[in-house]
Amino acid sequence: KNEVEQSPQNLTAQEGEFITINCSYSVGISALHWLQQHPGGGIVSLFMLSSGKKKHGRLIATINIQEKHSSLHITASHPRDSAVYICAVLFGGSQGNLIFGKGTKLSVKP
Amino acid sequence: GAGVSQSPRYKVAKRGQDVALRCDPISGHVSLFWYQQALGQGPEFLTYFQNEAQLDKSGLPSDRFFAERPEGSVSTLKIQRTQQEDSAVYLCASSFLTSGISTDTQYFGPGTRLTVL
């Protein structure tokens, strides 16, 4: 079974801290997405990457294809970053349906 | 223009009732996906359309679940004889895929929260 594992499940940080969320997957992929879901809200795509590194504002996403691992980093975290962060992958050969991790619930305290 | 919209946002059904959930994708988006998200879990794939063609329905949990997209735009997910285990958020996503395997960004709707009593 194709699996996506995220860690940690829950994360509490103080405002200003550097945050790392990890994602590991079991087989080769075509692409990996990092998504953000606010309580009661919809899902927003943050990044889609298949190699290397992408940066948008205070968010950085990296992927290591050989190690089948990706990380999402948040620099200078802020309470408004509090949300669930979900890793989702498109496995090679699939039609386009994403396989999701269970998410990491981040809470940033002021 | 507008993003992906879904209706209703909330639905409460008695066990055994039929429900219909609607998704309006972004205009021009070819691909449409339905996902089911149980409380505290990540979303799970249900079914996928490319225009009006349902190319993958392997994630539908039972034959009580049926999805259609007859004109290649709006899609409806129907659940017959609802059960308590059907309670979840149903998410719709669309992407601007033209053909083949997509690595395109998927845009998600706000979801429909279904509660079966």
The one-digit pLDDT tens for each residue of chain B (117 residues) are 579 999 999 999 999 999 999 999 999 999 999 999 998 888 898 999 999 999 888 899 999 999 999 999 999 999 999 999 999 999 999 988 654 444 567 889 999 999 999
Tens-level pLDDT at each residue, chain A (110 residues) = 558 999 999 999 999 999 999 999 988 888 899 999 987 767 888 988 888 999 999 999 999 999 999 999 999 999 999 999 999 998 776 666 788 999 999 999 99
Q: What is the DSSP string of A72-96?
A: EEESS--GGG-EEEEEEEEETT--S
Q: Using an 8 Å CB-CB cutoff, list chain A residues near B35.
A: 98, 100
Q: Using an 8 Å CB-CB cutoff, list chain B residues near A95.
A: 48, 50, 55-56, 101-102
Distance CA B83, CA B17 (A): 9
CB–CB contact A45 B109 (8 Å): no
- The single-letter DSSP state of residue B62 is S
Peptide bond into A39 cis (omega under 30): no
CB–CB contact B110 A45 (8 Å): no
Asked if A50 has any chain B CB less than 8 Å from its own CB, the reply is yes
Could you tell me which residues are beta bridge partners of residue A4? Answer: A25
Closest chain B CA to residue A87:
B42
Express each pLDDT in B61-84 by its tens digit.
999 999 999 999 999 999 999 999
Closest chain A CA to residue B98:
A96
Closest chain B CA to residue A103:
B42
Asked if A100 has any chain B CB less than 8 Å from its own CB, the reply is yes
Distance CA B74, CA B58 (A): 20
